[in-house]
Amino acid sequence: FWLEGYSALGQALRTGRNVGIMSEAPKLRAAVACAAAAAVVLAASVVASQGLALFLERRRREDDHESGDGCSAPQMPLMVPKEQLAPETFDRPGLELRLIRKAEAVLQRRTGSLLVVLECLQDGHNHCAVLRTMEALGVQHVWLISPPPMESKNTLERQRLAEMAATAKRGRVKRYAAQRSEKAWQVDAEQDEQHLAFAKGAERFLSIRTFDDTAACLEALREAGRDVWVTALEQQAQVLAPGAPWLEDNFPAVLPKRLALVLGSEGLGVSDTFKAAADRLVYLPLSGFAESLNVSVAAALAVQLLLQLYARAFPEEELRLPAEELRSLRADWYAKLARSDDEREQYEALVDAPPVPLDDLRRSDMNRRGR
């Protein structure tokens, strides 16, 4: 009966007859119903197969993510040494070789893969803040182009006014300049002294190189084999964030092993010369009406993110400083930390056989003052 219906259906289709489901021929009605049922079954099987494929693909990605294979989803490891996650050895008064054990912990966490360039910063406070932050994050190399005086712009302006008050011939000008220069002078002076102390403390343990102009810095970066990424606000700058397609689609090859990140002045940003020579323009995504961040804040966020990307991309030993540079820094730091001739002699003897580093870098609680 069904076969006869299919035969009749085929003949009707060849001759152009109308063979709807309400056809009077029972055999045709049966054939049409059977064809409709087959279509439903076929559609259901297609949907089911597609659903199964999607389900299997999702499970595969989840398995890859859990096992660490593949990079379909960004995995941002903590940039914290394993020993610091559950520290056992802390800084404490009376600990034998405490200063150089602390120095050794810092040395082991330093990286030379990322170098930071500060181009023509104008404010001494920002300059000091960036140096302190880079030292704290473990970036060893900072290059400076026309660095500013350590004082803030406000202090420099008040110094100018004080000079004006001393040299002006008109009494009205002298009084105006004197009043402006004395206002909150002491507060600024104290802030400058504190920032200067922080910066000098950071400079003692950073490898800083200074340039008079951008061209000389660019030439030195190329000679050092550094790729140059420039922070910029232009819309063609690529978003520097986990999950960005330009990062994830070609990770970790997109991340150079030797990178220079360039940050510019507070008002104008990085120069057009640096942007034209850059291998990549990058932008920190923001979520407010402010288009940009203070340069010291931008430096902290960008460097922290890049160091996390490096920790994800390369083994820890590849990110550390070369052995020759480590030894050179160790000798320099040990000499700086020695507080007597006897200590200097003792520390010098340990340069090639350093002590075990501390797990944790925080000062002893006994040395902290309450608020």
341-365 mean pLDDT: 95
Closest C-alpha among 143, 270, 112, 275 to residue 212: 143
- Give 369 or 331, the one with higher predicted confidence: 331
Tell me how far apart the alpha carbons of residues 30 and 22 are, in angstroms, rounded to a whole number.
10
Contacts of 70 (CB under 8 A, 6+ apart): 61, 64
Among 148-152, 160-164, 218-222, 288-292, the minimum mean pLDDT is found in 148-152
The pLDDT score that the predictor gives to residue 5 is 47
- At 79, the pLDDT band (50, 70, 90 cuts) reads low
Distances (CA, A) of 231 to 115, 116, 117, 237, 370: 14, 11, 11, 8, 40
Q: Which pLDDT does position 330 carry in this prediction?
A: 97
Q: Are 197 and 124 in contact (CB under 8 A)?
A: no
Which pair of tokens denotes residue 68?
Answer: 């660490």
Would you state the pLDDT for residue 72?
45
Average pLDDT of span 61-90: 64
Per-residue pLDDT, averaged over 329-339, amounts to 96
pLDDT reported for residue 166: 76
Closest CA to 275 of 234, 239, 244, 304: 234
How many residues does this entry show for the chain? Answer: 371
Number of H helices, E strands in the chain: 15, 7
For 288-313, the pLDDT digits (tens) are 999 899 999 999 999 999 999 999 99
What sign has the CA pseudo-torsion 202, 203, 205, 208?
A: positive
209 φψ region: left (φ > 0), alpha (ψ -120 to 50), beta (else): beta
Which pLDDT score, from 0 to 100, does residue 366 have?
86
Q: Which residue has the higher pLDDT, 213 or 180?
A: 213
How far is Cα 179 from Cα 165, in angstroms, rounded to an integer?
9
pLDDT at position 181 is: 62
Which is nearest to 312 in space by CA: 255, 261, 360? 255
Tens-place pLDDT, residues 98-137: 999 999 999 999 999 999 999 999 888 888 899 999 999 9
State the pLDDT at residue 59: 52
pLDDT of 53 strictly over 80: no
Give the pLDDT band (50/70/90) at residue 185.
Answer: low
Which residues make beta-bridge pairs with 238?
A: 282
| pTM of the predicted structure, to 2 decimals | 0.71
End-to-end CA separation in angstroms for the chain: 97
Two tokens, residue 145:
């182009």
Residue 314 has pLDDT above 80, yes or no: yes
> What pLDDT is recorded for position 107?
96
Strand 259-263 with 111-119, pairing: parallel
Q: Which position has the higher pLDDT, 267 or 134?
A: 134
Interval 16-41 mean pLDDT: 49
- What was the pLDDT predicted at 183? 59
Which residues face 111 on adjacent strands? Answer: 139, 320
Sign of CA dihedral 190, 196, 202, 204: negative
pLDDT at 46 over 50: no
Classify the phi-psi angles of 206: left when phi > 0, otherwise alpha if psi is within -120 to 50, otherwise beta: beta
pLDDT digits 0-9 by tens, 227-242: 999 999 999 999 999 9
Q: For all residues of the chain together, what is the average pLDDT?
A: 80
What's the pLDDT band for 57 if we cut at 50, 70, 90? Answer: low
Tell me the average pLDDT across 281-287: 96
Q: How much is the pLDDT for 40?
A: 43
Residue % of the chain over a pLDDT of 90: 55
Beta bridge partners of 210: 144
